[in-house]
Structure 1
């Protein structure tokens, strides 16, 4: 797999994840979504899910998958955010988006999404981005809508019983597909 050279923007350096990054990336994703540390940010799923959000094996698999990449954002040599990109025909899939909880709400997430979209458009030539979000995450979905993503109403079931996705604390979880066609303008500029 060819690794793109680092790109610096808004005091962030963007680069593809490497094998040496795996422990730091697992810690980042866990801190953004699960456990007590996630509760300091606004992206926490700790009120809906317990257990792990990811592990070393999953992160390694994403890094090694052809047609995919794990984009890392660093500030002063420290990983502060990441996201998964996967080339799927005319669209790219956007996932595992994580911003360190103490740095949420200041525009970092918006910058990471913009870079992910740039990579998908310029390097893969795709015409849009797709993602799935737990449908009960109204505040998170609203954040994506302000970035130009649209709800589709297309739902997929939560994988109850598969511990790789955590232990659900509720029985009404499902994912909704959100899409963005490139060329449309963002409808808002604020981070949250």
Structure 2
């Protein structure tokens, strides 16, 4: 799919982008709108995925970049890059549900990896994925990420991250060499 990258612009998010980003992230992961795409978490989590405060925190953090991806002036995706010494953390990745499955995600993650390498000299990219999301983990594995088996607990009881619909949620660390 060579067309996915056509007309895409990447830029750092600003305070003025917070509301649009919250709408994008919620649409990609929560509620019926997210079911249009394949990355929905609607079957495992209710409530919110993020909030304006959470997005603003990432924008303001000196070690983080929140990248906005736009096509023809519309926000189509975003992702967070955080500098953590010799590696970068990739998070807050959302692609507009209507555009999922068209190759856009591949283009964005490749650009994020390039930026982490070039900006910070990062040798690895780290991310955490809810461990029951086999389809999503398989997608990352096809991009060169490997499962580590290293788990961290899901923040049950903290509704800023959503309201879990099952009791076996946890995050698994995925890692990719960038060298």
TM-score tier after normalising by the smaller chain length: over 0.9
User: Are 2:157 and 1:177 aligned?
Assistant: no
Q: 43, 48, 51: which is aligned to 1:47?
A: 43
SS at match of 1:53: coil
Superposition pairs of residues 70-109 of structure 1, within 5 angstroms: 70-109=66-105
SS at match of 2:168: coil
Deviation of residue 10 (structure 1)?
3.0
1:27 corresponding residue in structure 2: 23
Deviation for aligned residue 1:176: 0.2
Could you say which structure has the greater relative contact order, defined with CA pairs below 8 angstroms and 6 or more residues apart?
2
Does residue 64 of structure 1 match 2:70? Answer: no
Aligned to 1:117: 113
More helix by proportion, 1 or 2? 2
Give, in whole Å, the separation in 1 of the partners of 2:6 and 2:107: 8
Per-residue CA shift, 1:34-66, capped at 9, x if unaligned? 011001100000000000000111101100001
User: Does 1:140 pair with 2:136?
Assistant: yes
Tell me what 2:149 maps to.
153
In 2, the alpha carbon distance for the partners of 1:175 and 1:58 equals 19
Instruction: Indicate the residue corresponding to 1:166 in structure 2.
Output: 162
Distance apart, 1:11 and its partner CA: 1.6
Q: Which residue of 3, 6, 10 maps to 1:14? A: 10
SS in 1 for 2:135: helix
When normalised by structure 1's length, the TM-score is 0.90
| CA RMSD in angstroms, aligned pairs only | 0.7
Deviations 1:105-133 (A, max 9, x none): 00100011011001100011110100000
Gaps of 5+ in 1: 1-8, 184-192
CA–CA distance in 2 between the matches of 1:182 and 1:61? 26
The alignment's TM-score, normalised by the length of structure 2, stands at 0.96
SS in 1 for 2:141: helix
Structure 1 residue ranges (4+ consecutive) displaced by more than 3 angstroms after TM superposition:
none
* DSSP 3-state at the match of 2:43: coil
